[in-house]
Amino acid sequence: MAETGVGRIIDNKYEILTSIGRGGMSYVWLCRDKRLNKMWAVKEFRPSAISSQSAANRQGILDEANFIKRLDHPAIPRVVDIIDTGSSIFVVMDFIDGTALNKVLRQQDEPFEQERVIEWGIQLCDVLQYLHEGPPPDGYPVVYRDMKPSNIMLRGDDTVKLIDFGISMELLPSGPSDARVIGTGGYGAPEQVDREIHKSVPVDTRADIYALGTTLYSLVTGHVPRARTDETGKKAVDFEMRPIREWDGQLSEGLEHIIQRATEQDPANRYQTAAEMRYDLEHYQELTQEYRAVQKRKVDGFRNRLIATLIALVAGIACLVISFVVRSFSYDSLVHEASLADATEQNMDLDKSEGSGLITLVADPSPAEELYTRAIEVSPDRMDTYFDLLDAYEKDDIFTTTESKRWMSIWQQYGRDLETNPQYNKLCYNVGIMYLVYYDYANANAYAKYESGGGSESFGAASGQAAIENMTQALRWFEDVVAHPEPVISDVPSDQDTGESYDLYQIELDSASHYVKLGTFYNKVAKANREGGEVLGSYREFWDTLEQMLIGTDEEPPSIESATNIVKLKMCQVAFESISSSTYLTGFRDAGVTKEQTTKLLDAVMAYSRELEDFARLSDAATPMFEEVDKGEADARANIARIYDDRWEQVRKQASKDGEGKEATS
């Protein structure tokens, strides 16, 4: 590098550790915040870019930095500081530990797996929707204008971040903030990069839809339209793209349809919003000719039924009564059939494509699930059907990712209409327990079931990161319980009235409050790991919650005593893993928790788990929880001794040793 900066201190705060990039106008350094001991990427602009002869460049640099500083989205790196010394400008931003997708594509020399590209597309739709809806405080729509693989950073957890907002523009009431013909040929929309088209077609948010379509095209095929020379010798961009299945016949017809629609030359024929495109990406398997033919038949059937219904309405009140009787009979028949049907998912398979790093579960709903779903469609206000459906999910001790997606589809359609039902909070509580205990976040149990031909000999309980994910997924449901502490009083049809109280038992409400605290703690710690910050108070609150649940007080018994056996074991597992983790136990220690307290909690965990051994041996979901606690006691006690004997943690090695080869914003 022409200039050296390693070891330099910027603004008495940021120590330069190593270089991570350079451009025509700037250097990018990996720096350590001396106060927070946190790593940042710092872009230093060359003196020539901000000299007195380049006043426009200087203002443009500051405007871009201040614009990005306003943005707040997890897929956009934050600008946290702007330092203008007069002779230099430094922009301090999140350090992205990842690699640009174009570099990954070049290194692996083959297209990415379709499922990964679709998931990235969904994430990018989210960030485009955020920009297009108008970030605060001004609320004007933002057109990114530079979507392409080189501006998308792939992180180790397979999430992506969008970088380089240098040519973004706002759509102000008076007109676009920038009317230049600008962008990357082959990725940019025709109205954005072609001068002739630009004269008559304005650039708006739909240009980003086009660029996302070409980006997905490039990632899934390895090809992108290139610049060409026309018959007059003038350079131009070829906007015609071959369908993706001409490159690879194994690619999805649905994804091909999405990309073709996104990259229509006329903006009016594209997706009009990123949310619309995201929906199709989430349902790409349904966008096939065969599926559309089935849907057409359903629509035709619905139209015919509608005509018949209208004719029946003319017949008057008598026909309405008959219709109600038939509907009730249909509902009761469906529920009865569902109660007798198999509750095991059908046609289970696993996509274990090499290089994906993920196990993707593919499965059709069980016969019982299909029947209960049809019953819900017939009478969406009948709460008992939702409880029956949850019981069907639970029967095989696994709540799979495919079952979760189908449940969320039902909930998005009908869930909010149930809020006035007295049993709403009880239903939310049961859903939270389903995610907390049975959710197969990593498809590990589904994989075991598939490999063993349907048996369950090798099932495993969610533990470690998977257990944290389960708690996080359950959090929103328990938050809904706490938000609805009292049942809403309403007229309940007599055919639904079982005579039982609709009140949520107080112990369940208290338990939901505890689960909210636990889930919130995991979220706070995860955020602190990403962004820095003090979390000792959160560790203390988390510990106090564990004590309330498993030890209790002189006035109140342990809250888990009234819980079901499977929930008791889950809470024992949560507490046990917290004590077994050196990171968490160090946090507890620093928050003032004593060695005696940790030992007492571990003793309580061991006592509860041993009381439940007979139960655990009979449950596929409970057995692994019990065995994790039972077999790990010695290691947990050793961890307590180690953490409380070693009063100070070693200072973390400088990240410069880990930063070699890392990519950052440039």
Task: Output the CA angle 533-536-540, nearest 5 degrees.
Answer: 145
Task: Name all contacts of 17-21 with Cβ < 8 Å and 24+ positions apart.
Answer: 17/654, 17/655, 17/656, 17/659, 18/656, 18/659, 18/660, 20/659, 20/662, 20/663, 20/664, 21/663, 21/664, 21/665, 21/666
Is there a single domain that holds both residue 129 and residue 82? no
Task: Output the CA angle 498-503-508, nearest 5 degrees.
Answer: 120
Give the residue from 62, 95, 128 where a domain finishes: 95
Helices in 532-632 by DSSP H: which ranges?
536-550, 565-580, 582-590, 595-611, 613-616, 622-631
- When mean pLDDT is compared across 15-29, 149-163, 434-448, 451-465, the lowest value belongs to 451-465
Is there a single domain that holds both residue 208 and residue 130? yes
Is there a single domain that holds both residue 367 and residue 253? no
* Predicted pLDDT at 326: 41
Is there a single domain that holds both residue 267 and residue 375? no
* Predicted pLDDT at 17: 92
Location of structure tokens 């018994």 = 557
Is there a single domain that holds both residue 132 and residue 268? yes
Residue 657 forms part of a structural domain: no
Give the rounded percent of residues in the chain with a pLDDT score beyond 70.
76
What would the pLDDT profile of 498-536 be if each residue is shown by its tens digit? 444 444 456 677 778 888 888 888 777 666 655 556 666
Residue 148 forms part of a structural domain: yes
- When mean pLDDT is compared across 314-318, 343-347, 466-470, the lowest value belongs to 314-318
- pTM for the structure as a whole: 0.47
SS3 (DSSP) at 45: strand
Residues in the chain: 666
Give the residue from 95, 128, 160 where a domain finishes: 95
Q: What are phi and psi of 427, to 5 degrees?
A: -65, -45
Is there a single domain that holds both residue 413 and residue 504? yes
What would the pLDDT profile of 362-396 be if each residue is shown by its tens digit? 788 889 899 999 989 888 888 899 999 999 888 87
Residue 290 forms part of a structural domain: no
46: domain CATH number?
3.30.200.20
* Predicted pLDDT at 306: 67
* Predicted pLDDT at 93: 92
Is there a single domain that holds both residue 151 and residue 259? yes
Six token digits for residue 274: 């990123």
Is there a single domain that holds both residue 136 and residue 220? yes
Confidence band for 83, pLDDT divided at 50, 70 and 90: very high
Between 27 and 137, the more confident residue is 27
Which domain covers residue 68, as residue numbers?
9-95
Let me know if 355 is exposed, middle or buried by CB neighbors in 10 A (0-12, 13-18, 19+).
exposed
End-to-end CA gap in the chain? 15
Look at residue 463 and tell me whether its pLDDT is greater than 70: no
Is there a single domain that holds both residue 53 and residue 170? no
Residue 519 forms part of a structural domain: no
SS3 (DSSP) at 351: strand
Alpha-carbon distance of 282 to 121, in angstroms, equals 10
Between 295 and 597, the more confident residue is 597
Confidence band for 230, pLDDT divided at 50, 70 and 90: low
Residue 652 forms part of a structural domain: no
Between 6 and 305, the more confident residue is 6
Residue 13 forms part of a structural domain: yes
Confidence band for 441, pLDDT divided at 50, 70 and 90: low
The rounded mean pLDDT for the chain is 80
Is there a single domain that holds both residue 413 and residue 390? yes
DSSP track, 447-481: HHHHHTTT--TT-----THHHHHHHHHHHHHHHHH
Alpha-carbon distance of 488 to 485, in angstroms, equals 9
* Predicted pLDDT at 112: 96
Is there a single domain that holds both residue 176 and residue 276? yes
The structural domain count of the chain equals 4
Alpha-carbon distance of 77 to 93, in angstroms, equals 7
Q: Once rounded to an integer, what is the mean pLDDT over residues 145-169?
A: 91
Residue 352 forms part of a structural domain: yes
Alpha-carbon distance of 387 to 330, in angstroms, equals 19
What would the pLDDT profile of 239-282 be if each residue is shown by its tens digit? 778 899 999 999 999 999 999 999 999 999 999 999 999 999 99
Look at residue 467 and tell me whether its pLDDT is greater than 90: no
Residue 301 forms part of a structural domain: no
Give the side-chain half-sphere CA count within 13 A for 593. 28
What would the pLDDT profile of 608-626 be if each residue is shown by its tens digit? 999 988 888 887 778 888 8
Alpha-carbon distance of 439 to 264, in angstroms, equals 40
Look at residue 200 and tell me whether its pLDDT is greater than 90: no
